[in-house]
A and B are shown apart, each in its own frame.
Chain A
Amino acid sequence: MAYDQDLAFVYFGPTKIVFGAGAARDVGMEMTGLGCGRALVVTDPGVMKAGLVEGVLKALGDRCVGVFSDITQDTGVGIVNRAAAFAREKGADCVVSVGGGSVIDTGKGICILLTEGGGLENFEGIQLLTRPQTPHIVIPTTAGTGSEVTCIAVILDERKGQKMLIVENFNTPRIAILDPKMTEKLPPLLTASTGMDAITHAVEALQSVQREPIADGLAMQAIRLLHRHLPVCTLNGTDLAARGQAQLAATMAGWAGGNAMFGLVHAMAHSIGAIARVPHGIANGILLPHVMAFNRDDAAESYAMVAEAMGVRERGMDEREAADAAALEMGSFLRRIGHPLRLSETGAKEEDLVKAAALSLSDGAIVNNARLVLDDEEVLAVYRAAF
């Protein structure tokens, strides 16, 4: 393991984890433990329709002062501002998010506005806040985003037509309740794509220029668990043991990525998502093996670790050979879990790729990529390989 002699880093992961089948029922007790008594529940129409919020509301009883569910796939500043106004009107003193990444990030935005006031458009930036924000309890309904343990919120700024990044240690969720039963009804494709989102977090953390040993350890274990359990989850969604391991892996990958940060896969996935509305997890999954091939010479050691975690590093392989084996296995893994293999399957058009390549160069994730990328033609070539 080679780390620079001058290795210096900050590891930040303050979120309490409550894990177990049925753990969502503990939300009321956990909330009381935080000293809160008036929760705004934040969710989306799909989660409501799946019946996943009822148990949470029952557990909260009269400690729930309102439910905000008007959230779309890519949440925006307008949604967060409306939700915060609703929370203020109800006198909420904490937020309980029940959903995937968009819901959780909406919850993060509400927490800032409940503490600081104003509109979310004033909070674009990195580490600007100077005090702890409104307590936030997260109950994920997917095993992928990792947002339940990170200080990062990605919110669409509708006026500019681009994603806004808010990175605030003071706004990291206080508690994540990982209840495998909350992911039980997730259909196979969503299970596969959210799982690939988590694997991508782990792989990108390992290759990041900000990688460090704690994040590396979490990323390795996340890849091991997902490689073993994600195929089971896609075949039999009711296997709660496998669902639970996938959830824990997604959270570990969130910690890894939230600290070591991400790379080119995320820059490209954000961009093709913005241009052609390709869902984030699916874009990550399709692009991952192609970016691994592109980065291989600059990230051979990291990808050799990925090969180890997936059990495909054979005796005698040097790092480059192991890195190639990892990229190859990633492609095979996509097939095994029934994940789309090409961007052309997602509705993206070839002309979208040029715009997305240019946009990728202004995405924050790209600065942490192991291979320095300054030319949009290089990015375009990777998109075309994945098309």
Chain B
Amino acid sequence: MRDFLICDKAKAESARFVMSGDFARWKQVAKKEVDSTKALMQGKLKLKGDLTYVVRNIKTVNKVIDLLCEIETIWPDEA
């Protein structure tokens, strides 16, 4: 992993793959209440794009999600 980038929706959607979902689902992932792979297969999250690329880089994808989980967060619905 080289970098994080915060960008607008249009740029994000041009990526090789995009994982998306409701706020409540991402919150569950970030709190490690839901595994992201299981969430995808169960329709709780969505994936658009090159699945083989995701799988080939699954360690990195999981690492990114792990790092997201480590960020101290103030949840809007809990503030």
Q: Which residues of A contact B11 (CB under 8 A)?
A: none
* Residue ID in chain B nearest A169 by CB atoms: B43
B58 near A367: Cβ-Cβ < 8 Å: yes
CB distance from A189 to the nearest CB of B (A): 30
B55 near A362: Cβ-Cβ < 8 Å: yes
Interface majority SS (helix, strand, loop, mixed), chain A: loop
A363 near B46: Cβ-Cβ < 8 Å: no
Interface residues on B, range: 20 to 34
B55 near A128: Cβ-Cβ < 8 Å: no
| Complex CA distance for A308 and B14, rounded to whole angstroms | 50
Q: Which residues of B contact A12 (CB under 8 A)?
A: 42-43
A162 near B52: Cβ-Cβ < 8 Å: yes
Known contacts: A210-B41, A367-B58, A374-B59. The answer to whether A125 contacts B52 by CB under 8 A is no
Return the CB mask of A300-318 against B: 1 if under 8 Å, else 0: 0000000000000000000
Known contacts: A165-B51, A167-B41, A363-B52. The answer to whether A128 contacts B58 by CB under 8 A is no
B48 near A364: Cβ-Cβ < 8 Å: no
Q: Most chain-B Cβ atoms within 10 A of its Cβ — which of A10, A162, A164, A169?
A: A10
Interface residues on A, range: 20 to 34
| Complex CA distance for A167 and B46, rounded to whole angstroms | 10
Which parts of A367-385 form the interface with B (CB within 8 Å)? 367-368, 374
Does B38 belong to the interface (CB within 8 Å)? Answer: yes
* Residue ID in chain A nearest B47 by CB atoms: A126
Closest 6 CB pairs of A and B: A362-B56, A126-B47, A10-B42, A127-B43, A125-B48, A362-B52
19 contacts between A and B (CB under 8 A): A10-B42, A124-B50, A124-B51, A125-B49, A125-B51, A126-B45, A126-B47, A126-B51, A128-B47, A162-B52, A164-B51, A165-B51, A261-B41, A361-B55, A362-B55, A363-B52, A363-B55, A364-B51, A367-B58
